[in-house]
C-alpha cells in the first residue's frame, strides 16, 4: 500500500515539473521599441541672439561762444552737413568794432614798446620802464587776440559730418553764450546697443565675433565691432554691450532701427557634444543616457556630465560621450540594463502616431 502511494506522488510531481517546463518554453522575452539617434557633435563655438537697437555714434549740441542777434541760419532740420560747413552767423558789427579798437591800441603800444626797446639797448632808459613797456605790449596783444577770437566765433561751423537733428532758433532772435542753436548727429559710424544676462556676461572673455540683422532689409548680416560694456547691471539684471556698425554696409540702415544681434563665443566643453534633453535620465543623483548597440540590439547605461542647455531642446555634454555613439532618445525611463530593444522607424509628418 505504501509503495503505491509513493509512486503516485512521484508521478504527480513529474507531471507538475513537466507542465512548468512547457510554460517556460511558451513565455516570450519583452522587447521594448525605442527611438534612437546619433549623438550630435557641436561646433567649438556657440551662438546667442538678442534684440538690439541702432543709435547714432554721438549727438552734439551746437552753440555760439558769444552772444548776439542771429543774422542767418544756413541749414534746416534733416540737412546733411560736412565737417567745417557754416551752420549759422551772429551779427558781427559789435565784435568788429571791438576788434578794430583792440588792434589800434595794440599797434600804438607796439610802436611805443619798439622805441623803449631801442633806448633800453643804448642804456638810456631804466629797466623798470622797459619792463612796463614789454608788459603793456603783451597785455594788448592778448586783448587783440581775444577780440579777433570773438569776431570769429560769430560764425558757427559743423564740428564733424552729420545730419542736423533740431534747430531751436530763428533768424533775428537773440541768443546767449552756450545756448543750443542746433543739434547734429554723427553718422560716420553707428552704435548698436544690446542687453545680455549675467550667464553670458561672465563669458565675455570667450566672445569671438558679432553680427546683426535687420528684418526689413532681409537675411543680410552686418559685422559688428565690440566697443565696451557697462560693468553694472541695470534694473532688469542685464548688462549692456556697445558695438560699432559701419553705415556704409547698407544705406538703408538708420538710427532707431531694431536689429537682431548675434554673439558667437567659444564653447567651454572640450568634447563639443550635445544630446536631446529627453535622452537624459537620472539615477542616484547622476545623469545617464542609454547607449544602443547595433550588434547585440541591447542598451547599456552611460554616465554623462551635463554642461547646461544648448537651446532647441538639447543639452551640452561636458564628458561621457565622444560623438560617435547612438543613444536612445525616447522611452528612457522604462528601460533596463542590457535589455533588448527594437528601433522605431521614423514616421512621416502626415502619419500621426505611426498608424499607417
Q: What is d(CA 305, CA 348) in angstroms, rounded to the nearest whole number? A: 33
Q: How far apart are CA 92 and CA 153, in angstroms?
A: 9
Residue with cell string 533775428: 172
E-strand stretches of 15-64: 32-38, 40-41, 45-63
pLDDT exceeds 80 at position 164: yes
CB 28 within 8 A of CB 264: no
**What confidence tens digit (pLDDT) does each residue in 7-56 have?**
343 334 443 444 444 444 445 667 888 999 999 887 677 789 999 999 98
* Grid coordinates given for 26: 511558451
**338 conformational bin, left if phi > 0, alpha if psi -120 to 50, beta if neither:** left
Whether this model's pTM surpasses 0.75: no
Rg (CA), the chain: 43
pLDDT, residue 14, reads: 41
Q: At residue 293, does pLDDT exceed 60?
A: yes
Distance of alpha carbon 87 from alpha carbon 206, whole angstroms: 46
Report the distance separating Cα 244 and Cα 238, nearest Å. 20
Structure letter (DSSP) for residue 323: S
Please list the residue range(s) of the chain that carry CATH number 1.10.287.470: 95-153
How many Å apart are CA 81 and CA 88, to the nearest integer?
12
Q: Where in the chain is the domain with CATH 2.40.420.20?
A: 32-44+270-347
Specify the domain boundaries for CATH 2.40.30.170 within the chain.
47-56+192-266
Computed over every residue of the chain, the mean pLDDT equals 85
- Strands 225-229 and 174-175 turn out to be unpaired
* Domain 47-56+192-266 -> CATH class: mainly beta
pLDDT tens, position by position, 211-236: 999 999 988 999 999 999 999 999 99
Give how far Cα 31 sits from Cα of 23, 301, 324, Å.
19, 17, 25
Which position has the higher pLDDT, 192 or 313?
192
Residue 242, all three cell numbers:
556697445
Indicate whether 347 pLDDT > 60: no
Above 50 in pLDDT, residue 183?
yes
Phi, psi dihedrals of residue 289, rounded to the nearest 5° = -130, 160
Percentage of the chain lying above the pLDDT 90 cut:
57
In the CATH hierarchy, which fold is given to the domain comprising 32-44+270-347?
2.40.420
Q: What CA–CA distance (Å, rounded) separates 233 from 248?
A: 32
* 95-153: CATH topology: Helix Hairpins (1.10.287)
Amino acid at each position: 500500500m505504501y509503495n503505491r502511494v509513493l509512486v503516485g506522488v512521484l508521478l504527480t510531481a513529474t507531471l507538475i515539473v513537466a507542465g512548468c517546463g512547457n510554460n517556460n518554453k511558451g513565455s516570450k522575452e519583452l522587447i521594448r521599441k525605442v527611438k534612437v539617434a546619433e549623438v550630435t557633435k557641436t561646433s567649438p563655438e556657440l551662438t546667442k541672439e538678442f534684440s538690439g537697437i541702432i543709435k547714432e555714434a554721438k549727438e552734439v549740441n551746437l552753440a555760439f561762444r558769444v552772444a548776439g542777434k542771429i543774422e542767418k541760419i544756413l541749414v534746416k532740420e534733416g540737412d546733411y552737413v560736412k565737417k567745417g560747413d557754416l551752420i549759422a552767423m551772429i551779427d558781427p558789427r559789435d565784435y568788429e568794432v571791438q576788434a578794430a579798437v583792440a588792434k589800434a591800441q595794440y599797434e600804438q603800444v607796439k610802436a611805443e614798446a619798439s622805441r623803449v626797446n631801442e633806448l633800453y639797448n643804448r642804456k638810456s632808459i631804466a629797466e623798470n620802464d622797459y619792463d612796463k613797456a614789454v608788459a603793456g605790449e603783451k597785455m594788448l596783444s592778448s586783448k587783440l587776440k581775444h577780440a579777433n577770437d570773438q569776431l570769429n566765433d560769430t560764425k558757427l561751423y559743423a564740428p564733424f559730418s552729420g545730419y542736423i537733428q533740431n534747430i531751436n532758433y530763428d533768424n533775428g532772435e537773440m541768443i546767449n553764450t552756450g545756448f543750443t542753436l542746433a543739434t547734429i548727429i554723427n553718422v560716420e559710424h553707428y552704435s548698436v546697443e544690446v542687453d545680455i544676462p549675467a550667464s553670458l556676461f561672465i563669458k565675455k572673455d570667450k566672445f569671438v565675433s558679432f553680427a546683426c540683422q535687420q528684418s526689413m532689409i532681409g537675411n543680410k548680416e552686418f559685422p559688428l565691432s565690440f566697443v565696451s560694456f557697462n560693468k553694472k547691471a541695470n534694473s532688469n539684471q542685464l548688462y549692456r554691450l556697445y558695438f560699432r556698425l559701419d553705415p556704409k554696409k547698407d544705406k538703408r540702415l538708420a538710427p532707431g532701427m531694431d536689429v537682431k544681434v548675434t554673439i558667437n563665443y567659444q564653447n567651454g566643453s572640450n568634447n563639443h557634444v550635445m544630446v536631446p534633453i529627453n535622452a537624459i535620465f537620472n539615477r542616484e543623483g547622476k545623469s545617464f543616457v542609454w547607449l544602443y548597440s547595433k550588434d547585440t540590439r541591447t542598451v547599456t547605461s552611460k554616465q554623462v556630465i551635463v554642461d547646461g542647455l544648448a537651446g532647441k531642446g538639447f543639452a551640452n555634454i561636458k564628458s561621457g560621450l565622444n560623438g560617435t555613439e547612438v543613444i536612445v532618445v525616447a522611452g528612457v525611463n522604462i528601460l533596463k540594463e542590457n535589455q533588448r530593444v527594437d528601433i522605431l522607424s521614423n514616421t512621416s509628418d502626415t502619419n500621426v502616431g505611426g498608424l499607417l
